[in-house]
C-alpha cells in the first residue's frame, strides 16, 4: 500500500525558474511525513558588510552556525556584491541560505542580530571617539531590528562597543539579558595568545580574562589566570620566576596596543573579531553555557551600584542570552581598576544625547 505523500515547502520539487522536476530529475521517496517542527530554523543577521561584518559572516558560514544568514548594509551595490560573492562559495560550504537587503524586513525572525555597522578608528584614534557618529547610525539601525525580531539577541560589535551596547539596550527596549556587547572577548583572546606564546603552550589551555572597557582602560585579571588548571601567579612563585606589577602591566598594555598596531599596519582589524563574534554566536545559539568576558549591564555586580553601565564581566552565555555573571575573586587593585574603567565609560555615556 502506498501512503499519501505530504507536500511541503521543504519537499518542493520546483527547479530554477519554477520548473517542476518531480517526474524527471527528482523523484521523491514514498512514506513521507511532514517535516519535524522540533528542529527550529536558525537565523543570524549581520548589519554592516564592511571588514568586520564580512569576517563574521564568513566565519559563521564555515562553522555552520545557522540555517540562514542575512546581511544588511546602507550601500545596496556593495551589499549585493558581498552576498553574491558568499553565495558563489556554496559548493565548498555547509548549506546556508544567504539573503541580503537594505530593507530591515529581511531580518525578520532572526535569533541573533550582530551589529557591525558604523565608523571605525583611523590610526591612533580611540574607540570612544567614535561615539557621536555611531550613535546617529544606531538610531536608524536598532529600532527596525527590534521591530522585526522582537525575541532576538542583539550582539553589538561597533565601537565604542560598551557605550553602544547601552544605547542598543535603551533603543530596543529589550531585557538586559538579550543585549550583549562583544566586549573584551577579543582582548582576552589577545591576552591568552601573549601568555601562551610566552610560555610556549596552547592558548586554549590558558584561562585568562580581560574585563572592563573594550579599550584603553581594560583590566587584566592576573590573580585568576590558570594554565592547564594551574594558577599562574603561584606557578611563577613556586618556580621562583620573578615578576613585578610593572611587567604584568606591560603585557596588559600590549593587549591594548594590539588593536592600534593592527590598525596602523592594515587599516582595520577583522579576522580576530570575526572568530570572536562567531564564538559568541555559537555559545548563544547552541546553549553552550560557556563563560565569556562580554559587555553586559554591570549594575549590581562587582560593586558597580546605582549606575547603568555596560562593560565586560565574565558572563555565562546560552540560548536565553546572558544567563548570569560569574563571581571571580578580585584583588583590591583589580577591583579598583574595574571601578575606574566603569567611570571612564560613564563619563563618555554622560555626553549621549538620545
Ligand X SMILES: NC(=O)C1=CN([C@@H]2O[C@H](COP(=O)(O)OP(=O)(O)OC[C@H]3O[C@@H](n4cnc5c(N)ncnc54)[C@H](O)[C@@H]3O)[C@@H](O)[C@H]2O)C=CC1
Alpha-carbon gap, residue 140 to 135, rounded angstroms: 9
What string of DSSP letters covers 308-319? --EEEEEEEEET
**Nearest residue (CB) to ligand X, 119 versus 199:** 119
Residue 178 in grid coordinates = 538579550
Judged by CB under 6 A, does residue 164 bind ligand PYR?
no
- Extract the runs of DSSP E, i.e. beta strands, from the chain: 43-47, 68-72, 97-100, 112-115, 153-156, 179-181, 206-207, 210-211, 219-220, 226-227, 230-231, 290-297, 310-318, 321-325
**Nearest residue (CB) to ligand PYR, 56 versus 227:** 56
Residues 6+ apart with CB under 8 A from 353: 135
Q: Map grid coordinates 540555517 to a residue.
A: 67
Residue 320, marked binder? no
Alpha-carbon gap, residue 335 to 207, rounded angstroms: 19
Judged by CB under 6 A, does residue 296 bind ligand PYR?
no
Contact partner at residue 162 from ligand X, ligand PYR, none, CB < 5 to 8 Å by partner kind: none
77 catalytically annotated? no
- Here's the x/- map for ligand PYR, 245-264, by CB under 6 A: it reads as --------------x-----
CA atoms within 13 A on the CB side of 5: 11
**Nearest residue (CB) to ligand X, 72 versus 317:** 72
**Nearest residue (CB) to ligand PYR, 72 versus 259:** 259
Angle among Cα 232, 238, 242 to the nearest 5 degrees reads: 75
| Strand, coil or helix: 20 | strand
Q: Map grid coordinates 580574562 to a residue.
A: 209
Interacting residues toward ligand X by CB under 6 A: 47-53, 72-75, 116-121, 130, 134, 137, 140-141, 157-159, 161, 182, 186, 214, 268-269, 273
Residue 215 in grid coordinates = 579599550
Active-site pick, 6, 88, 214, 351? 214
Residue 52, marked binder? yes
Give me the least distance between CB of 113 and ligand PYR, in Å please.
Answer: 19
Size of the site for ligand PYR (CB under 6 A): 6
Give me the least distance between CB of 52 and ligand PYR, in Å please.
Answer: 8
Residue 73, marked binder? yes
Judged by CB under 6 A, does residue 159 bind ligand PYR?
yes
- Here's the x/- map for ligand PYR, 212-251, by CB under 6 A: it reads as ----------------------------------------
Judged by CB under 6 A, does residue 43 bind ligand PYR?
no
Contact partner at residue 50 from ligand X, ligand PYR, none, CB < 5 to 8 Å by partner kind: ligand X
Give me the least distance between CB of 212 and ligand PYR, in Å please.
Answer: 14
Show contacts with ligand PYR in window 262-291 (CB under 6 A).
269, 273
**Measuring CA to CA, which residue among 117, 210, 159, 174 is closest to residue 348?**
159
CA atoms within 13 A on the CB side of 348: 27
**Nearest residue (CB) to ligand X, 169 versus 232:** 169
Cβ atoms 158, 48 nearer than 8 A: yes
Judged by CB under 6 A, does residue 186 bind ligand PYR?
yes
Alpha-carbon gap, residue 181 to 165, rounded angstroms: 5
**Nearest residue (CB) to ligand X, 186 versus 227:** 186
114 beta partners: 46, 155
Widest Cα–Cα separation across the chain: 81
Instruction: Give the residues lining the site for ligand PYR (CB under 6 A).
Output: 127, 159, 186, 259, 269, 273
For the annotated binding site for NAD(+), the residues are 48-53, 73, 134, 157-159
The residues annotated as belonging to the active site are 214
For the annotated binding site, the residues are 48-53, 73, 134, 157-159
Amino acid at each position: 500500500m502506498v501512503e499519501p505523500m505530504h507536500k511541503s515547502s521543504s519537499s518542493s520539487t520546483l527547479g530554477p525558474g519554477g520548473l517542476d522536476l518531480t517526474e524527471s530529475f527528482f523523484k521523491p521517496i514514498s512514506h513521507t511525513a511532514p517535516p519535524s517542527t522540533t528542529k527550529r530554523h536558525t537565523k543570524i543577521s549581520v548589519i554592516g558588510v564592511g571588514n568586520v561584518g564580512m569576517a563574521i559572516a564568513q566565519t559563521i558560514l564555515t562553522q555552520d552556525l545557522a540555517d540562514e544568514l542575512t546581511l544588511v548594509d546602507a550601500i545596496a551595490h556593495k551589499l549585493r556584491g558581498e552576498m553574491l560573492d558568499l553565495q558563489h562559495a556554496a559548493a565548498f560550504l555547509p548549506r546556508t541560505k544567504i539573503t541580503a537587503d537594505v530593507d530591515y524586513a529581511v531580518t525578520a525572525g532572526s535569533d541573533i542580530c550582530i551589529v557591525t555597522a558604523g565608523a571605525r578608528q583611523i590610526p591612533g584614534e580611540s574607540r570612544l571617539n567614535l561615539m557621536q557618529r555611531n550613535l546617529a547610525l544606531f538610531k536608524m539601525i536598532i529600532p527596525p531590528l527590534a521591530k522585526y525580531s522582537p525575541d532576538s539577541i542583539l550582539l553589538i560589535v561597533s565601537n565604542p562597543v560598551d557605550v553602544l551596547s547601552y544605547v542598543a539596550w535603551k533603543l530596543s527596549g529589550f531585557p538586559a539579558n538579550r543585549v550583549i556587547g562583544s566586549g573584551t572577548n577579543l582582548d582576552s583572546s589577545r591576552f591568552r595568545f601573549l601568555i601562551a606564546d610566552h610560555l610556549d603552550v596552547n592558548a586554549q589551555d590558558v584561562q585568562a580574562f580581560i574585563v572592563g572597557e573594550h579599550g584603553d582602560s581594560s583590566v587584566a585579571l592576573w590573580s585568576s589566570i590558570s594554565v592547564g588548571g594551574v594558577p599562574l601567579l603561584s606557578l611563577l612563585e613556586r618556580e621562583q620566576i620573578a615578576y613585578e606589577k610593572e611587567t604584568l602591566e606591560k603585557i596588559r598594555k600590549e593587549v591594548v596596543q594590539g588593536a592600534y598596531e593592527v590598525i596602523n599596519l592594515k587599516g582595520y582589524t577583522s579576522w580576530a573579531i570575526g572568530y570572536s563574534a562567531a564564538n559568541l554566536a555559537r555559545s548563544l545559539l547552541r546553549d553552550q553555557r560557556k563563560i565569556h568576558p562580554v559587555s553586559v549591564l554591570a549594575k549590581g555586580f562587582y560593586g558597580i551600584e546605582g549606575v547603568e553601565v555596560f562593560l565586560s564581566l565574565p558572563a555565562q552565555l546560552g540560548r536565553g542570552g546572558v544567563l548570569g555573571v560569574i563571581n571571580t575573586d578580585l584583588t583590591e587593585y583589580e577591583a579598583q581598576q574595574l571601578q575606574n574603567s566603569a567611570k571612564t565609560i560613564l563619563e563618555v555615556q554622560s555626553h549621549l544625547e538620545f
